[in-house]
Structure 1
């Protein structure tokens, strides 16, 4: 749960000094961990605890959270290396990741537990430990629904985040998932670039408006990159953040509408498994940036968590040939889809919008998969 802080100038100055001190301490602890091969929390904390308190002005509990942040960063790096997310061992990116200690930005997020940060929900204020002492009465803003969620389910750490001149707290909320109902049927969702999402009901959430917006942003980005000035670099960073927020808003709106339709009609939601699509699909040079930067994977994530929150069944099914298979006769052929927008079966003549046909195939596969999942297992005699 993200809430916006409304600090006074004095409070903002203390928060900024705290972030900088914590991240300087985290960078130093990371260098010690890298040099002495200390990746476990107890070992690293024993090595740097006294030094971080004396040198960087941190209290006991912020030192503990800073060490935990460093250990978690190395655990994440190890997971990414094992998953191949940083390329093969011979790649420059992989060698740089394993050959240098992790460094933390001055404004990187800092976790606080309940000993360092407390919430006053009635007054809508928080009390935060800072290097200038305990800072009380920092106001925060949130909606009534967010406040209700915080009161009922907030648990564990809260991350202090600075974005430009704005301050946020990201609180961890442990919300129990409602029981998933038995679906009466399924809504198949086909994701794409021209059409962000097309359902088996024929509802089309077009991405053309977002495509125009992103092309306009790309032109402005090229103009700013050509200037090669500091102000242009700062404007590029602001534009990139604004573009991501816009795409995220569109994905939230689409996923919310699809989940509400499924919940109202008692159906489940099925999407294609799109993992590894960048490795499977061969594109022209002018298409690669569009595919790499397109937020269709984020749309699937929004659908998954919103469905789980609403108790709507959610499935991912095999994406193979969903755009080439005829849902009526089962004939699968590349020629069934003569162009991007149209489908026409070469055997039975079924015709229609290609994205809707793909959504129907996704729905049919979800029916079969759910029947197999819920099939009772026979007991041995």
Structure 2
């Protein structure tokens, strides 16, 4: 399976300037190629190459491989847009969002990522050095840092393209690795049910609760501060906003990685599979009051589910998705279903048998029971393979799911 390993580069000021010039040139060329593709309807890689390859090399001083990747990046962005339009992710054809996406060419950010192959980039992993092509010439002896686990993965499994990424004054390489999978456990002894939520991020059928109260408090504090800075709108306020951006997303991603790793390790240790709810479309189905909308929209359940799925696939742990309907209203002891059973967010009290339990623990037990029943009936593991990589309009590497939805590539 494909994984993306992120390593941080430690360039000198001169090297960093060369990287910045390279990204600007490549993305200016991609914007021009995007205009040609839009005006002439050339969304195919070979067709667009015939019309743009020569001028991209001459006007922006790009090498042959760099020009090829710029054209491919442009075509991938249009393929991503087409998949999202087909899946309905940008609304109906008469909606403002749909028209905005289709009535003008895709625009690439000046600092958008640029792909590199082995002709443009070479690794000296043991020495933690790389050399790579730039518009100012080959830049050699660029230092990078990574954890021992990442270095081992790079040394053993690196295969394919790497993306040069500039972010907030820092530089990264996103290296693609082809990591072998463990053989799937086709005879699990049971399933570990996982109930995903906002107050409690994940609750397992073993009774373990991974609470999100601290994360939610941080989100509220960050949202309040963001509102104050936006109202102030001074140069110093804007600088502070820029400095703090992505901080909340990075924290949530780190927490989700840790939870997913723990859940999969526990299932693997006990010879069980993992049972999850199929929460597709929950944002559209649920109607909330205004104070609750920001909290619900910042709930990264899809990311946590994706992390659990790819880590389970790598470990050979089967994953089964179940229908989430009435899991919070059904008694895990007697099976009685009643809206009144859910007496509060935290507690469940069955109106039939009288059992009282933690609401999320009760729900996770129902999820486990449904997954086990599906498995006994012949259901197979639904831990998906990582979807094929494409690129969005910003030049970032993305994946297209079966429904066309975009999701972040799994990374170590």
1:178 aligns to 2:182 (yes or no): yes
Name the structure 2 match of 1:379: none
Name the structure 1 match of 2:123: 119
- Of the three residues 337, 340, 345, the one matched with 2:342 is 337
SS in 1 for 2:377: helix
Whole-Å Cα distance in 2 between the matches of residues 290 and 273 of structure 1? 20
Whole-Å Cα distance in 1 between the matches of residues 366 and 257 of structure 2? 24
Whole-Å Cα distance in 1 between the matches of residues 234 and 99 of structure 2? 30
Whole-Å Cα distance in 2 between the matches of residues 213 and 185 of structure 1? 36
C-alpha displacement of 1:260: 1.6
Name the structure 1 match of 2:394: none
Whole-Å Cα distance in 2 between the matches of residues 26 and 121 of structure 1? 31
C-alpha displacement of 1:143: 1.5
C-alpha displacement of 1:374: 5.9
C-alpha displacement of 1:293: 1.1
Name the structure 2 match of 1:16: 20
Whole-Å Cα distance in 1 between the matches of residues 104 and 379 of structure 2? 50
Matches within 5 A, 1:65-76: 65-76=69-80
Whole-Å Cα distance in 2 between the matches of residues 291 and 270 of structure 1? 22
Whole-Å Cα distance in 2 between the matches of residues 268 and 239 of structure 1? 39
Whole-Å Cα distance in 2 between the matches of residues 361 and 222 of structure 1? 40
Name the structure 2 match of 1:96: 100
CA deviations on 1:5-41 (whole Å, 9 max, x unpaired) are: 1111111111110010000000000001001110000
Whole-Å Cα distance in 1 between the matches of residues 236 and 257 of structure 2? 32
Whole-Å Cα distance in 1 between the matches of residues 239 and 39 of structure 2? 34
C-alpha displacement of 1:197: 0.7
C-alpha displacement of 1:230: 4.1
Matches within 5 A, 1:1-381: 1-181=5-185, 182-373=187-378
Tell me whether 160-169 or 140-149 shows the greater mean CA deviation: 140-149
Change (3 A) 1:155 1:163: same
Whole-Å Cα distance in 2 between the matches of residues 199 and 234 of structure 1? 42
Whole-Å Cα distance in 2 between the matches of residues 246 and 50 of structure 1? 44
SS in 1 for 2:330: coil
For these two proteins, the number of residue pairs brought into alignment is 375
Change (3 A) 1:48 1:374: closer
Give ranges in structure 2 of 5+ residues lacking alignment.
Answer: 381-412
C-alpha displacement of 1:122: 2.4
Name the structure 1 match of 2:385: none
Tell me whether 144-153 or 37-46 shows the greater mean CA deviation: 144-153
CA deviations on 1:326-363 (whole Å, 9 max, x unpaired) are: 12222111111121111111112222111100000000
SS in 2 for 1:373: coil
Higher relative contact order (CA 8 A, sep 6+): 2
C-alpha displacement of 1:177: 1.3
Whole-Å Cα distance in 2 between the matches of residues 30 and 65 of structure 1? 13
Give ranges in structure 1 of 5+ residues lacking alignment.
Answer: 376-381
C-alpha displacement of 1:128: 0.6
Name the structure 2 match of 1:378: none
SS in 1 for 2:245: helix
SS in 1 for 2:55: helix
CA deviations on 1:199-251 (whole Å, 9 max, x unpaired) are: 11111111111111111101100110101234433432332311111111111
Whole-Å Cα distance in 1 between the matches of residues 257 and 181 of structure 2? 19
C-alpha displacement of 1:373: 2.1
